[in-house]
Amino acid sequence: MTTNKIMRAISQDVLGGPEVLKQVELERPEPGPSQLLVRVHAAGLNPTDWKHRGNALFLGTPPYVLGWDVSGVVEAVGTGVTLFKPGDEVFGMLPYPHGAGSHAEYVTGPARAFARKPAGIGHEQAGALPLAALTAWQALADTARVEAGQRVLIHAAAGGVGHLAVQIAKARGAYVIGTASAGKHGFLRELGTDEVIDYREVDFTEAVRDVDVVLDTLGEDEHRTRSRSLRTLRPGGLLVSILPFADAELYEEAERLGVRVELLLVEADHAGMKEIAALAEAGELRAHIAGSFPLADAAKAHELGETGRTAGKLVLTVG
């Protein structure tokens, strides 16, 4: 166990582009009651990271350290923790949104935000999973309760949440339809997607009918993807959107069509992380790593992520 009380972290003093991210030295945190202190080995990035970097959103005014995904080793435990001991390998999602801070050498978080890292995967793979996989799990398993034989439409199916949602839906026996640009169709077929639609060339509302569940990862974009998706659902079907903001018109249209809408904000979830760990250990869930960057190059990772062209996840590694 280290006695050094200073750690490296990626912080920002102002809102802005990737250039506002700086490597700094901060005092190493100490675990409070029911918390772990984790020595970070890898930490995933998600679109919410660059959105928070550029806009106040949930975290308010900087300075702050971003990052919710973490995989690492327990350094110390706070009062009352019984699930883990120093030296245990763990992975998890820090409480969203106010628990951010994993883009650093050490981080504290509630013990029950973590699960044991599967022995069969490395920290980089484990660090890529938590937020995106929990989002997909909570949408498809907890909220929609997807079952074998159901038809599931996943938008942006090659994205961070999308490609993991495809795997989770397939593991639950669903028939999966995914939207993506043509260049990502091969990747999606390798994941087991049953039908792939090029949203640039095909109107998905004409190509898809009678689905049980739509997973919306885009929100009400310029193509009105979310509201148009309601028309693809069977009567009584469910649209789950991971963009948890909507006006009354969406609900009014859903009621008119006889379908349902749920808006989801991902939560830290010990039970969900255990399910994700089991799927990963069984080889049924794996994050595609689109790029891996050392902690000091966080700005480069943000720059790549903001292009929107990557398939899968980006990860920061902490040596």
Instruction: Tell me: do 257 and 154 sit in the same domain.
Output: yes
Instruction: Report if residue 280 sits inside a domain.
Output: no
Q: What is the pLDDT of residues 267-281, one digit of tens each?
A: 999 999 999 999 999
Q: What is the pLDDT of residues 45-61, one digit of tens each?
A: 999 999 999 998 899 99
Instruction: Tell me: do 160 and 247 sit in the same domain.
Output: yes
Task: Return the pLDDT at 308.
Answer: 85
Instruction: Tell me: do 163 and 196 sit in the same domain.
Output: yes
Instruction: Report if residue 279 sits inside a domain.
Output: no
- Domain holding 99: CATH number? 3.90.180.10
What is the pTM assigned to this prediction? 0.96
Instruction: Report if residue 1 sits inside a domain.
Output: no
Instruction: Tell me: do 86 and 137 sit in the same domain.
Output: no
- The token duo for 124 is 């980089």
Task: Return the pLDDT at 2.
Answer: 46
Instruction: Report if residue 11 sits inside a domain.
Output: yes
Instruction: Tell me: do 107 and 186 sit in the same domain.
Output: no
Domain hosting residue 80, numbered range: 6-129+287-317
Q: What is the mean pLDDT of the chain?
A: 96
Total of domains in the chain: 2
Task: Tell me the mean pLDDT in the region 95-124.
Answer: 98
**Which phi and psi angles does 206 have, rounded to 5°?**
-90, -30
Bridge partners for 73 per DSSP: 39, 89
Q: What is the pLDDT of residues 289-306, one digit of tens each?
A: 999 999 999 999 999 999
Instruction: Tell me: do 83 and 117 sit in the same domain.
Output: yes
- Please name the residue that has the structure tokens 């004409």: 206
Instruction: Tell me: do 252 and 298 sit in the same domain.
Output: no
101: left (phi over 0), alpha (psi -120 to 50) or beta: left
Instruction: Tell me: do 136 and 125 sit in the same domain.
Output: no
Instruction: Tell me: do 185 and 291 sit in the same domain.
Output: no
236: left (phi over 0), alpha (psi -120 to 50) or beta: left
Residue 80 makes CB contacts below 8 A (sequence gap 6+) with 33, 34
- Domain holding 233: CATH number? 3.40.50.720
Bridge partners for 315 per DSSP: 44, 292
d(CA 105, CA 182): 39
Instruction: Report if residue 272 sits inside a domain.
Output: no
Task: Return the pLDDT at 221.
Answer: 77
In contact, 180 and 199? CB cutoff 8 Å:
yes
In contact, 54 and 25? CB cutoff 8 Å:
no
Instruction: Tell me: do 177 and 240 sit in the same domain.
Output: yes
Instruction: Tell me: do 12 and 120 sit in the same domain.
Output: yes
Instruction: Report if residue 277 sits inside a domain.
Output: no
Instruction: Tell me: do 313 and 247 sit in the same domain.
Output: no
